[in-house]
Structure 1
Amino acid sequence: MNPLVTLWSVSLILCLTGAVALVGLIVVRIFSGRAARNRARVRRRLTPILLGGNAGVERLSGADVRFATDLTVELAEFMRGSDRAELLAIAAALGVPDLLHKRARSRTAQDRLTAIEALALFDDYTGVVELALDDANPHVRLGAALALSARGDAPDLMALVGKLRIGEAENSLLLVSLMSDIAARDPDAVRALLSDAAFPDAGKVAAVDALADSGYTHAPLLAEMAANPCGTPDLQPRVFRALGRTGHPASARAIEAGLASQDWRIRAASAEATGQIALRRFAEQLGILLSDRHWWVRFRAGEALLRLGEPGTAVMNRAASGTEALARRAATTLLAEKAAA
């Protein structure tokens, strides 16, 4: 075949393909635009119903109830108290929780998760949400636990965490959110979990991080845990780092003991906490750690000294000109990095 004819044929095929694709895009745009306008029209009709009174509310079906369900979830996020209660009552009359209940039995885990999170808003469906704690998917179980923990009538803490199978299948960072909710409601229950030898370390780490995120609120509990270990040795460094994150100066006694710990990980974590809380009176103890046999402890000690201002800088300069090799090397390196920054 003539090469020019071949080139012409290929060009024609490409042009036809492009034309078909363009027509397809136009059709999709037309239908998607029509669907968007339909959604906007239905939302405009349903919004005053959901925000109004109960008078004249009729049960919806088909696409209308789907739109009402999505709109209910959106509006509920911005409402509290009696306004939310009224919204949910109207949504229930429209048939929203029934649709969510059906979605909660979906074969798709994401559909089950979103349905369970929304169902937790309705008082009559908390039993369905509790059943989701036994779901085969760990993300659905965790979502159900988070949704339940946000309610005032949440199940017992041990019942929640027991269903999650922490340490076996659930390692999500959302565990911290769950523990934060529980700590805000029942800090004694979190304390009991942390002292429970059978409770997995993954759950204890999440609990410690949740306590640290609360700021001053649970700093005394963390200080008590630092002074009286109740978990595995791997957990204790986390406790000391958490103390630093709270910024609570009352943690000083526990941190001072940590600086002299036999565990190098605790010494490093305590040094880091000293710098975070700016405990200047511990500058000399940090200076001693500049010659620690573990380089990470030396690094954390030097880093903390630089954060202490003038007292820390004086200790660093003295170590940099001293005779102890490890301390001199650590101080010189960190001071040089600071100067170059």
Structure 2
Amino acid sequence: MLFYIWTLSIVIGSSALAIMIVLVVLRILHERRHARDEILRRKLMTSLIRFSEDGERDALMAVLGEIPAAIVADSGFEFLSLLRGDERQRIEDVFGETRLPEFARRRLRKGNEAERIHSAEILTAFPGTASVEALLEALDDRSREVRIAASISLNALGALPALQTVLERIGPRGLRSRRLIDLFESLPADRSGELLANALMEDGSPFVRAAAIEALSLTEDYRFLREVEVLARDRSPEVAAAALRALGRSGHPAAAGTVLASLGSGDWEVRREAAEAAGRIGIAEAVESLTSLLGDGEWAVRYAAGKSLKEIGATGMEALRRTAVEETSRSQRTASLILSEGLAA
């Protein structure tokens, strides 16, 4: 029995020693590879900086031929993020003549999630049928973040399918992603109708509808003002708040009636957005309602009401001063704070 115990101990000890040796070897190899990659990154950066100064295309092509595509994809595009205009375009053109586009398309299919997202993003530098086809295929990727990244890149290349089709491909779980807002806001003006259709979809996701309204407001297209007013009365507070924010951003006086009606909403976010919109539009008729909101139970609503009273002008400032000298209350404290901010400025 003792013999078997000693034998087992020797086997376990030998196994532990072997595992330790393997780990040490792997660590050494990893450090050597890391050191080699750092040298190549510095060489790449030096070449890119030199090219941006002298434009020696052949010299840069020679260096790119020596450096693994993975390093060029990661470090090269990190450098490109610092550039704009013709200078960036010249380097992208050189990258396009290397094996980098093919590498990015392959990694979009086979890399880990972060690599697939990055590959989808950098393919916008290589327009063409091959890149578009790879990105369309990525709309069926197992990761919703990759699907969204592919959608944004397809839009940048002018090849995005119908928006409703894209949203269906992204899937319901991806429709709460902040990146979806990036997609909506990057859509060209001639696709605003698709945004409006999603905003008006009563059975759609409130987040998607609100994001569509937000993107519409950035177009500064008053053709959709009537529809946005309707959305400001939507039963979803998220949608109504986004619509009121859009109305305030438009600054159009025709929206005054809708904003005034929303100041009495039962949802505090809707009241806050309505209060801010009243100030941006300059609705003098809102002074009485805004003065009442100085005592609202939500701090954000009180502060928005006070700021808007100041923005409205003389009648709003008079209401603030009158409230500030009343007996101590939430309204009085809010009005005093808003007035003191003006003095501090």
TM score, norm. by length of structure 2: 0.70
The residue number in structure 2 matching 1:21 is none
1:278-307 Cα deviation digits (max 9, x unpaired) = 444532443465688998766643442244
Aligned residues: 305
Identical aligned pairs, as a percentage?
A: 22
Q: Corresponding residue for 1:133? A: 139
- The aligned residue for residue 36 of structure 1 is 38
Distance 1:43 1:321 in 2: 64
SS at match of 1:264: coil
Q: Is the 8 A contact 1:268 1:297 kept in 2?
A: yes
Q: Secondary structure at the match of 1:259?
A: helix
State the match for 1:150 in structure 2: 156
Residue 63 of structure 1, CA deviation: 3.7
Deviations 1:121-148 (A, max 9, x none): 3212211111111111121111111111
Q: Let me know the Cα RMSD of the aligned residues.
A: 4.2
Q: Is contact 1:226-1:239 (8 Å) kept?
A: yes
Write the mapping of 1:173-192 to structure 2, written as runs, cut at 5 A: 173-182=178-187, 184-192=189-197
Deviation at 1:224, TM superposition (A): 3.6
SS of alignment partner, residue 110 of structure 2: coil
Cα 1:41–1:60 change in 2 (3 A) is closer
Equivalent position amino acid for 2:132 in 1:
T
Partner of 1:197: 202
Cα 1:300–1:39 shift into 2, 3 Å? closer
Residue of structure 2 equivalent to 1:314: 318
Contact 2:295 2:331 (8 Å CA) reproduced: no
| Whole-Å separation in 1 of the counterparts to 2:216 and 2:180 | 12
**Using the alignment, how far apart are the partners of 1:142 and 1:92 within structure 2?**
24
Residue 191 of structure 1 deviates from its aligned partner by 0.9
> Residues 170-226 of structure 1, C-alpha deviation per residue, up to 9 Å, x if partnerless?
4222221111012545211111111123431111122223334x2x72455355412
Counterpart CA distance in 2 for 1:239 and 1:118 is 34
- Structure 1 residues 245-299: Cα deviation after superposition (integer angstroms, max 9, x where no partner): x2x331x332333322463334442222112344445324434656889987666
Change (3 A) 1:280 1:55: same
1:207-246 matches, within 5 Å, as 207-212=212-217, 214=218, 217-218=220-221, 221-222=224-225, 224-227=227-230, 232-234=235-237, 235-244=239-248, 246=249
Distance 1:89 1:74, change over 3 A: same
TM-aligned CA deviation for residue 95 of structure 1: 1.0
Q: Structure 1: any 5+ residue segments left out of the alignment?
A: 1-23
The answer for the alignment partner of 2:258 in structure 1 is: 257
Q: What stretches of structure 2 of length at least 5 have no aligned partner? A: 1-26
Distance 2:64 2:324 in 1: 77
Does structure 1 conserve the Cα–Cα contact (< 8 Å) formed by 2:245 and 2:274?
yes
Does the CA-based 8 Å contact 2:41-2:75 persist in structure 1?
no
Distance 1:207 1:179 in 2: 6
- The aligned amino acid for 2:142 is A
Q: Is the 8 A contact 2:228 2:247 kept in 1?
A: no
Deviations 1:69-124 (A, max 9, x none): 4465356654657983x755543442112211222233521011111211233212
Tell whether the 8 Å contact from 2:45 to 2:79 is kept in structure 1 after alignment.
no
TM-score by length of 1: 0.70
Moved more, 281-290 or 186-195: 281-290
> After superposition, what is the alpha-carbon deviation per residue over 1:7-36, rounded to whole angstroms, capped at 9, x for unaligned?
xxxxxxxxxxxxxxxxx99xx6x9866653
The Cα of 1:336 is off from its aligned counterpart by 3.1
Greater shift, 195-204 or 294-303, is seen at 294-303
